């Protein structure tokens, strides 16, 4: 359960809500240009674009949930259960075969734009190979954006499907074509006050603001979160400066966030938005807040030595920070 969005004005921003039952050891991780990425079926990538994002580091390897590279390309993996299909490994492996956990490092390490990412994705086959015996393969689909264009990549039984994403939003199941089709059911919604189309013989009037969007879903299901996020992204008006845009971005994510106790999983656990992030993909600044700390924290990619070979990790600021005036 997650929501990823991308905005292009007034500054290009991309980010997501991570909705999950428990933390996974996540921290903000910068991978510099000369960190050696090892792949199961490819040569070691000794030199690549630097990237910043939220990851768990296992055996010295950053397992990114989402990240952006120094060229302004963003990529996020979202839960896609029962639909994601990875091919079983066989003797006829190809260099274009990757495991799911290798996809974000490979794409962000080698691509500058969505178009370059799409060209690479069209040749990739994803294999059912877990990172380790304790870190299993997660069923995922991916949102890729560069501030001008957005696409979705979904691994299906007949290959990796790539879709243009005109709304800049991705949630979870069903597959992406359903979400685009479902938008047609809500085309009458508007941020403006409604006019009476019900009956010319009835004197019907609005009695409050916001009635033009009556029918906008408010539940936490993937279909409803997609519609609500798409409506807000499409109608969002941010201020002219980057700080206003970042604030607006978090307001959109807040509108589709999970509140503890309101979504209980089949295992009896609470599904919550453990963190929300917003990445200024031009400046390389990763902004985030957590469920227990509403203050926005920022980590700057370009303030680090990006020619080093080792990872730079920043533990999450997870304790609530309150500014007392007296």
CA distance 154 to 164: 12
The 3-state DSSP class for residue 167 equals coil
Q: Of the listed 2, 111, 277, 278, which one is catalytic? A: 2
What does the chain come to in residues?
326
2 is catalytic: yes
Say what the pLDDT of residue 102 is: 97
Nearest to 19 by CA among 290, 274, 296: 274
Residue 55 DSSP one-character state: E
> Which residues, including other chains, have CB under 8 Å from residue 223's CB and lie 6 or more apart?
171, 174, 178, 179, 182, 217
- pLDDT number for residue 1: 78
Where b means 16+ CB within 10 Å and e means fewer, 126-161 reads bbebebeeeeebbbbbbbbbbbebbbbbbbeeeebe
pLDDT in tens, the chain (326 residues): 799 999 988 899 999 999 998 889 999 999 999 999 999 888 889 999 999 999 999 999 999 999 999 999 999 999 999 999 999 987 766 778 999 999 999 999 999 999 999 999 999 999 999 999 889 899 999 999 999 999 999 999 999 999 999 999 999 999 999 999 999 999 999 999 989 888 889 998 999 999 889 999 999 999 999 999 999 999 998 877 889 999 999 999 999 999 999 989 888 889 999 999 999 999 999 999 999 999 999 999 999 999 999 999 999 999 999 989 99
Kindly list the structural domains of the chain, giving each domain's residue range(s) and its CATH number in brackets, ordered by start. Answer: 2-175+240-314 (3.60.60.10)
pLDDT given at position 93: 67
């Amino acid at each position: 359960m997650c929501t990823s969005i991308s905005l292009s004005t007034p500054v290009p921003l991309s980010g997501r809500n991570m909705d999950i039952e428990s933390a996974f050891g996540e921290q903000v991780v910068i991978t510099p240009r000369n960190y050696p990425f090892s792949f199961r079926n490819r040569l070691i990538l000794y030199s690549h674009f630097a990237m910043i994002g939220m990851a768990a580091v296992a055996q010295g390897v950053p397992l990114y949930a989402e990240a952006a590279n120094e060229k302004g390309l963003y990529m996020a993996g979202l839960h896609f259960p029962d639909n994601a299909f990875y091919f079983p490994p066989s003797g006829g492996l190809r260099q274009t075969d990757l495991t799911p956990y290798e996809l974000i490092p490979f794409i962000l390490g080698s691509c500058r734009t969505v178009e370059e990412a799409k060209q690479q994705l069209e040749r990739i086959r994803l294999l059912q190979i877990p990172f380790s015996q304790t870190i299993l393969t997660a069923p995922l689909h991916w949102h890729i954006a560069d501030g001008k264009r957005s696409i979705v990549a979904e691994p299906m039984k007949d290959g990796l499907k790539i879709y243009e994403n005109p709304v800049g939003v991705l949630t979870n199941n069903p597959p992406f074509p359903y979400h685009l089709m479902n938008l047609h059911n809500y085309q009458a919604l508007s941020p403006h006050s409604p006019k009476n189309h019900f009956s010319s013989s009835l004197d019907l009037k609005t009695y409050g603001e916001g009635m033009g969007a009556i029918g906008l879903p408010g539940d936490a299901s993937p279909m409803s979160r997609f519609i609500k996020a798409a409506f807000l992204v499409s109608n969002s008006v941010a201020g002219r400066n980057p700080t206003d845009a970042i604030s607006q971005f978090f307001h959109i994510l807040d509108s589709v966030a999970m509140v503890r106790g309101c979504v209980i999983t089949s295992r009896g656990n609470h599904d919550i938005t453990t963190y929300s992030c917003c990445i200024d993909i031009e400046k390389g600044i990763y902004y985030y807040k957590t469920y227990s700390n509403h203050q926005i924290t920022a980590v700057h990619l370009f303030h680090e030595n990006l020619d080093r070979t080792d990872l730079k990790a920043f533990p999450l600021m997870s304790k609530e920070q309150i500014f007392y005036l007296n």
